[in-house]
Amino acid sequence: IRKCEPYCFTESFSAHHQSGHNSGVIHSGIYYKPGSLKAKLCVQGAALCYEYCDQKGIPYKRCGKLIVAVEQDEIPRLKALYERGLQNNVRDLKLIGAKEIKAKEPFCRGLMALDSPHTGIVNYKQVAQSYAEDFQEAGGTIFTDFEVTNMEMAKESSSESEDGKGEEIYCQHIVTCAGLYSDRLSEISGCSPEPRIVPFRGDYLVLKPEKCYMVKGNIYPVPNPRFPFLGFHFTPRMDGSVWLGPNAVLAFKREGYRLFDFSTGDFLDAVTYSGLWKLVLRNLSYGLGEMYRACFLSAQVKQLQKFIPEVTINDKTFLRAQALDTDGNLVDDFVFDGGSGDIGSRVLHVRNAPSPAATSSLAIAKMIADEVKRRFEL
């Protein structure tokens, strides 16, 4: 090992995939299991995100969020969510009635809502690019379009290019956060392939510009604990647009943003994994509903009209790298992993960083830094 400068490898530009295609919400930490990394890091990360944006002059809006019950049977779940938020130390949560819902969101209808005033929105692509600038200013080097295909211990006779930009990079330790490819990168390093990544495509609808005045803040449904995703919601964006959705359907390519994008290798990797079939069979009705809504936009609109009766739409797409275990369970928390042996002992993998990873990013970074110091005895 002959080089210790910090390097970062990305796609053609920072935030090319999940970080640049997410909803842009600064989450407050309501949904997550008390005591989990998600809950702890989200609450910490949201505060750090606002502080960072203030320091860097990155615009954001603390527009708030309502989680709205539109049916009587959703109210007990809403109250349970309120208690969970309190356990997670989410600030200034309160339950409000129909009149207060109207006062905050004049076009939204509901029986009761959970009001989270410190939920916000930001352009995470801008945040990620600012992180990249910080990294470079601290002496780091960013390589774009640099695919990692192998990791091995350096031989004494190995030679390296003087500028360090050849096909081989020499380093002492590695930290990975590879999103859609985190499982494959782990395998390359000789570490465990579990949990496996299965890509899900999410289609967002976009409110027609002349209708955007109808949504002031984030409007979410009460999540159903029987199903793995949060359901359709209204998300205002920093550019003034309003996104509606998303759904969640299996993608046939890890970077397949379009309906007919297909990779034989990615497809076979997903459909031959037993964990996926266990997930599908457990949530068959939900999955069929998601596929139907993906094909027929009117079905998505019908879901949204439960909250705001009049919506007209366009559409957008994002990809989610969902980690699954062999039992077909969605890996709901952050996963940090390494291995043994000459290479594995020098690697720390961030194996799963689902939503709210963008919100939590600065808190995650601190945790990774602490783990790097501990694991590598630095």
Query: How far is 235 from 233, CA to CA, in rounded Å?
Result: 6
163 or 113, higher pLDDT: 113
142 shares a domain with 20: yes
138 or 229, higher pLDDT: 138
For residue 4, name the pLDDT band (cuts at 50, 70, 90): very low
183 shares a domain with 248: no
Cβ atoms of residues 30 and 193 within 8 Å: no
139 shares a domain with 15: yes
22 or 95, higher pLDDT: 95
312 shares a domain with 293: yes
Mean pLDDT, to the nearest integer, of 122-135? 94
Residue 45 lies in a domain: no
How do residues 73-106 score in pLDDT, each as one tens digit?
999 999 999 999 999 999 999 999 999 999 999 9
Widest CA span in the chain: 75
336 shares a domain with 313: no
Cβ atoms of residues 127 and 51 within 8 Å: no
- How is 128-144 classified by DSSP, letter by letter? HHHHHHHHHHTT-EEEE
Token couple for 102: 């109207």
Determine the pLDDT at residue 18.
Answer: 72
139 shares a domain with 4: yes
* Count of structural domains within the chain: 2
Residue 101 lies in a domain: no
Omega before 193 cis (within 30°)?
Answer: no
Q: What are phi and psi of 252, to 5 degrees?
A: -95, 10
For residue 228, name the pLDDT band (cuts at 50, 70, 90): low
Task: Give the mean pLDDT of the chain.
Answer: 85
Residue 372 lies in a domain: yes
> Residue 267 is part of which domain span?
202-211+240-330
Token couple for 356: 């709210």
Is the confidence at residue 157, as pLDDT, over 60?
A: no
The amino acid sitting at 11 is E
Is the confidence at residue 230, as pLDDT, over 80?
A: no
Residue 232 lies in a domain: no
130 shares a domain with 5: yes
Query: How far is 364 from 121, CA to CA, in rounded Å?
Result: 19
Residue 100 lies in a domain: no
- Taking the model in full, what pTM does it have? 0.85
143 shares a domain with 20: yes
What percent of the chain has a predicted confidence (pLDDT) above 90?
A: 44
Cβ atoms of residues 321 and 18 within 8 Å: yes
Residue 206 lies in a domain: yes
How do residues 286-296 score in pLDDT, each as one tens digit?
677 766 666 66
Token couple for 170: 């020499």
How do residues 249-263 score in pLDDT, each as one tens digit?
888 888 887 778 899
Token couple for 289: 């509903």
Cβ atoms of residues 319 and 251 within 8 Å: yes
| 2-31 b/e (C-beta count within 10 Å ≥ 16 → b) | eeeeebbbbeeebbbbbbbbbbbbbbbbbb
Query: How far is 27 from 29, CA to CA, in rounded Å?
Result: 6
| Residue among 209, 231, 214, 235 nearest 222 (CA) | 231
Determine the pLDDT at residue 265.
Answer: 92
Residue bearing tokens 């992993």: 337
215 or 201, higher pLDDT: 215
Determine the pLDDT at residue 162.
Answer: 45
Strands 112-116 and 335-337: unpaired
In CATH, what number is assigned to the domain containing residue 352?
Answer: 3.50.50.60
296 or 138, higher pLDDT: 138
Token couple for 227: 């199903």
336 shares a domain with 189: yes
How far is residue 99 from each of residues 79, 111, 167, 268, measured CA to CA in Å? Answer: 18, 9, 63, 52
Mean pLDDT, to the nearest integer, of 2-16? 61
Residue 52 lies in a domain: no
Determine the pLDDT at residue 294.
Answer: 66
Is the confidence at residue 52, as pLDDT, over 90?
A: yes
365 shares a domain with 349: yes
Is the confidence at residue 8, as pLDDT, over 90?
A: no
368 shares a domain with 325: no
Residue 301 lies in a domain: yes
Which of these ranges, 137-151, 264-278, 298-312, 335-349, has the smallest mean pLDDT?
A: 298-312
Highest mean pLDDT pick, 14-28, 291-305, 318-332: 14-28
207 shares a domain with 186: no
The amino acid sitting at 168 is E
Cβ atoms of residues 61 and 50 within 8 Å: no
| Residue among 137, 316, 183 nearest 243 (CA) | 316
